[in-house]
Chain A
């Protein structure tokens, strides 16, 4: 299991989908157009989503 994972601030997420298209593991989906949801099992904690999120609301955190 990876050391890190991504976590999203759902109340601030704008559901733009940038993280979805950037994630190398396809671990993110947009739940019904409301916010991004990360599949913790698939996420490797690379932090690419965090670096690309225009709203700065998805974060790489310790598991």
Chain B
């Protein structure tokens, strides 16, 4: 039924995203590349590109489409309506920022020698999962701490996003994704 559209290079960003997540299982230092996924969408929105990142280039969003549509692992039921309410979206953004700041704070403490390096990743805002096996070559402790922290955030979003893709529709995560929400807020401010 769905017409096959001509694919462009930007339709393959999900491969980069999948590679990113795979690399984190072998060497956590690659998690630093995730900084790009935070900078580019915000910069694009600030420079007037709207939600161009979400609309065309986000590999994580495309990964959910691959899982849900190409593999067909999705019930394709619409998610509860409150998920797209401003209350939930902004509430989740604050929740997310709290953990993001906590991650930065731990990095700073490790940099100052107050805390020692935690070779774990924090998953689903609850579990500290041992991840020392993905740290083969020691680097400066704070740099490693940031990598563990950022990878935990990224992997959490992937896990939640995949679960939502299976239960509801692909890219249900995008309804309240903090990056998507922030870029839309910037876009709305600029459009005024």
Contact = CB atoms under 8 A, between A and B. Distances in A.
A16 B175 contact: yes
Contacts of A48: 1-2
Contacts, number: 88
A14 B81 CA distance: 12
Given A33-B187, A34-B184, A34-B187, A54 B50 contact: no
A33 B171 contact: no
Interface of B: 1-3, 5, 45, 49-52, 54-56, 61, 65, 76, 78-79, 81, 83-85, 89, 168-172, 174-176, 180-181, 183-184, 186-188, 190-191
Nearest to B172: A54
Nearest to A57: B84
Interface residues of A, number: 23
Contacts of B61: 16
A33 B49 contact: yes
Contact of B187 (A15, A17, A51, A56): A15
